[in-house]
Chain A
Amino acid sequence: MSSGGQRRNTALFVGALALVLVTAVGLSQFASDQPDGLEYVADQEGFAESADEHVLAEAPLADYGGNLDGTESTNVAVAGLIGVLVTLGLGFGVFWLVRAGGTPPESAGS
């Protein structure tokens, strides 16, 4: 791949990552706090009580920052930022391991 194409790919990646961060840190502020479909049905049909508390319910980021000390707004933002970075990092790691093997890099010097 040409270095121009490589630059364009990098620019697209950075732009898309910025949008992902805006979603997780910014748009998440406007998320509904109503129960989701499964929780709603569990409430209505009377099996919500059969859920056990999550083993990690006391973890700092449990329920997307619910246990943090800041305001609700900053807690969600912190949770969104950390979640995106952890998911991205784990994604890079896992997909690097499973990537198509045996094909040498197209340009070793770039």
Chain B
Amino acid sequence: MHIPDGFINPGVSAAAGVVAAGGFGVAARRARVYLTERLVPLAALVAAFVFAAQMINFPVLPGMSGHLIGGVLAAVLVGPAAGYIVVSIVLIVQALVFADGGLSALGLNIVNMGLVGAVGGYYVFRALMRATGNRRVRVPMVAGIAAFASVPLVAVAFAVEFAIGGTAESLSMGTILWALLTTHTLIGIGEGLITALVIGAVMSARPDLVYGSPSFTGRRAEASVQ
């Protein structure tokens, strides 16, 4: 899911860079509302976990693999603001140290996986939690479903960027969108399973630390979440 340099033209890439940087500023201000000193190690650990998990490509189809994005996972654990920062940190390390994800595409990748994947996916999670009675026992399953849904959402975000700024010529956008949606819906199954398992493990050990759960004992940035 990491866009390399060259897929998207410089104008759209730069615009995404501005959005990503602005998003980082907003996320930092929001995280400041709730990310207390005792949550700092947890947030750093979540970033390290997302990095590690993204190394594990799992087979999906003959000739195709997928890997965790981790946006919903991070956002449910540490909140959407810190989740956006987690994904940004991972993408920056991958692009600068491991040449994974283009440098000019860093903003695009942060917009897709951080803004759409983590923040967008978190609000899918919140909506599903509200719709199912906001029960803490359902947090892992609901997080898994939101994580599953987030992967085709991220793929659609790429499709939009590609439609506006793709450098390749004479391609059928409809065919590409369909190919992106079908493959990433399949990859989403892995995303959902891993997210549900990890959130389930953390919920059984420390439900008080899970931001998205009704059992969370800290402050939240959104007043409406109870």
Contact = CB atoms under 8 A, between A and B. Distances in A.
B45 A17 contact: yes
Interface in A29-86: 30-38, 40-42, 44-47, 49-57, 59, 61-64, 76, 79-80, 82-84, 86
A30 B175 CA distance: 32
Given A20-B52, A83-B52, A95-B85, A100 B35 contact: yes
Contacts of B206: 12
Contacts of A49: 168
Interface residues of B, number: 75
B37 A99 contact: yes
A27 B82 contact: no
B15 to A, nearest CB: 19
A50 B57 contact: no
A101 to B, nearest CB: 6
Interface residues on A, range: 35 or more
B52 A40 contact: no
B6 interface: yes
A3 interface: no
B115 interface: no
A95 B35 contact: yes
Interface of B: 1-7, 28, 31-53, 55-61, 63-67, 82, 85-86, 89-90, 92-94, 96-100, 102-103, 155, 158, 162, 166-168, 171, 175-176, 179-180, 183-184, 187, 205-206, 219
17 contacts: A28-B55, A32-B65, A34-B65, A37-B60, A42-B7, A54-B103, A57-B99, A59-B97, A83-B93, A87-B47, A87-B48, A91-B89, A94-B89, A95-B44, A98-B31, A100-B34, A101-B32
In the A-B complex, the 9 residue pairs with the smallest Cβ-Cβ separation, listed nearest first, are A91-B44, A47-B168, A52-B6, A24-B52, A62-B99, A91-B47, A32-B65, A23-B52, A40-B64
